[in-house]
Structure 1
């Protein structure tokens, strides 16, 4: 009985410690990424897209969700810096690259969501590139979205690029709660055929992003549908 009590106390203290000291996101990624990359590369080389997506989802669900996102200090295009821990709201963070064109209607959809939900959610876009290259992105995004940039030639940006761009790629959407805990990670935007009318393209991206937002505690009505403030 005494040994059992000791074991229970140990397990309780271990659980409490793990809850108070979650694994850092980059540590969880570092431990599990090599195996994922090997299996993922093999799947995509064989043209097995479904298997590749399954592996990504498994990595996120089993290893990354629940980890604590790194307290990065991001470079804003506006010249000010943004420290992640200073944000006291859930975070919707999307990564892009300066040399890639977002899908049709994607930025308009983000602007629409930011207008509706900026009181509840912090919208952050990180563009991989230098400040001059990223300014064109900022001009297309709402002032309610924090537009930041990171480049591996910057000492402070190299770590961010290495941990995010060179592992999970882009565009990637990180859903993070107000305690910097990773709630979910999704890749890609809506699949919009080239000839899709702009209004329809915006709608497709809007619905996709809004569905992702649901996991970081946006207000809902009695039927579970997200509501505007």
Structure 2
């Protein structure tokens, strides 16, 4: 009798406190991006970049932060497929395009990150271009970096993947937690490098990146930055 009562109580608790429904990034983008872009474009036309950034912060904090990424598949530059279901650690998804001039120092530092944090984070580069072009501009990346591409001319990019380009353009960097929740977006992603910096300073910068991933609140001034 006691067992049945316990089961009944557990069932009542489950009904009273239902599991929170997951909110997904692509769904949130579909709901809120149009309004954000209209207001942001107007702010930029009026020369008010500060208000445009406030609009982005509001969009992110109110609707996108901690939203989940759905599982999807990407083609690898060197052949085969990459499945997001296989990710079991925090990761960066960095979007790139062939018309962007990628600085050699940026590739060097991404490679360095991939070595330093191997086993702790995954770094995924997503090229929005043909396989041949993606292969030609990705040859200098480390084997630790996961190199993928989408050729939109094939019309195979589905609604789950498209928001990563059509929301904020490329380049951009999306930070995801181990649970595949969005922690941060860096628009117009770039890595700045100063030849006068010492190796010790560079190591501190890499620690900032690690802190950004695991502590969820990146500093405003850092190695990964948004171009004004």
TM-score calculated relative to the size of structure 2: 0.77
Runs of at least 5 residues in structure 1 that lack an aligned partner in the other structure: 1-8, 219-229
Change (3 A) 1:209 1:11: farther
> 1: CA distance between counterparts of 2:48 and 2:106?
27
Within 5 Å, which residues of 2 pair with 1:109-188? Answer: 109-159=109-159, 162-188=162-188
In structure 2, relative to structure 1, the CA distance for the partners of 1:182 and 1:197 (3 Å cut) is closer
Partner of 2:46: 46
Report the CA distance shift for 1:90/1:155 in structure 2 as closer, same or farther (over 3 A): same
Which residue of the partner structure matches residue 215 of structure 1? Answer: 212
Instruction: Extract structure 1 runs of 4+ deviating beyond 4 A.
Output: 9-12, 196-200, 202-210
Residue in structure 1 matched with residue 106 of structure 2 by the alignment: 106
In 2 relative to 1, CA 208–154 (structure 1 residues): closer, same or farther, beyond 3 Å? farther
Q: Distance in 1 between matches of 2:210 and 2:125?
A: 15
For structure 2, the residue ranges without an aligned partner over 5 or more in a row are 1-12, 216-228
Deviation at 1:98, TM superposition (A): 1.1
Residue 103 of structure 1, CA deviation = 4.2
**8 Å Cα contact 2:23-2:68 kept in structure 1:** yes
Measure, in 1, the Cα distance between the counterparts of 2:134 and 2:180.
25
2:19 matched to which residue of 1? 17
**TM superposition shift of 1:183:** 1.6
Taking a change above 3 Å as real, the CA distance of residues 199 and 126 of structure 1, as seen in their structure-2 partners, is farther
Q: Aligned in 2, Cα 1:171/1:207: closer, same or farther, shift over 3 Å?
A: farther
Question: Is the alpha carbon distance of 1:207 and 1:136 closer, same or farther for their aligned partners in structure 2, counting shifts above 3 Å?
Answer: farther
The alignment yields a C-alpha RMSD, in angstroms, of 2.9
Q: Give secondary structure in 2 for the equivalent of 1:123.
A: strand
Shift of 1:137: 2.5
Q: CA distance change for structure 1 residues 115 and 41 in 2, over 3 Å: closer, same or farther?
A: same
Q: Distance in 2 between matches of 1:25 and 1:217?
A: 20
Return the index of the structure with the highest Cα Rg. Answer: 2
